[in-house]
Structure 1
Amino acid sequence: MTLPIGGIPGIGAAFGVGGVAGIDTTAAAQGVGGTANGDAFSSVLAATFDQLQATQANADGLAAKAATGDLKDVHDYMIARSESSLAVEMVVGIKNKAVDAFNEIMRMPI
């Protein structure tokens, strides 16, 4: 049960970088339809956080199996934990850039 590390189509295309498997923002962005950009952004953000939580829950479940001896391949846990760690780092990085952009906008003269 290994998941390949793939790119995030919605964010990778915007920033020119790859991402972590299990987080796909294009489905949320395409499902919004004719709503305002703020609604689309918030739905993409919410979907990303939900998928991040699912990635972490998967890694936690594999950790519990590894601790009890029910996990046959320990490398599955290591891969899931690495994916979870990379996803958290990416989300924190995006959050930091969004806060920086907000602060820069607030410093603009009116």
Structure 2
Amino acid sequence: MTFPIGGIPGISALAGMGGVAGIDTTAAVSQAGGANGDAFSSVLASSFDQLQATQVKADGLAAQAATGDLKDVHDYMIARSESSLAVEMVVGLKNKAVEAFNEIMRMPV
């Protein structure tokens, strides 16, 4: 003797899926994850570009300071501090990415 269990009314409307259509929603989420991965890589690439730009600016100001063309030493000190902080941030991101990769590799399959 079995009793049929009906669906809970209103749940499919809240979740935006009904029946087997939920599988299609899962595929859409994984495709969106790929788009977010592209967004992450573009943000990471722009961060490296900004790091390089701050280092070039600091190096240019250092050359001006060495030749005596720099009017305000504070500009060089600020640029060097920005460059140093940017390097620390990028190294921190790299360390966290390597740590995450190693953690994923330790997961049992």
Aligned length: 76
Match of 1:66?
Answer: 65
Q: Which has the higher helix share?
A: 2
Give the partner amino acid of 1:71.
L
Q: Which runs of 5+ in 2 are unaligned?
A: 1-33
Runs of 4+ with >6 A deviation: none
Partner of 2:93, secondary structure, is helix
Match of 2:47?
Answer: 48
Cα RMSD, aligned residues only: 1.0
Partner of 1:36, secondary structure, is helix
Percent of paired sites with the same residue: 88
Q: TM-score normalised to the size of structure 2? A: 0.67
> Cα deviation per residue 1:46-101 (whole Å; 9 max; x = unaligned)?
00000110000000010011011010111110111011011101110111011101
Between 1 and 2, higher relative CO (CA 8 Å, sep ≥ 6) is seen in 1
**Larger-gyration structure (1/2):** 2
Shift of residue 37, structure 1, vs aligned partner: 1.6
Partner of 1:70, secondary structure, is coil
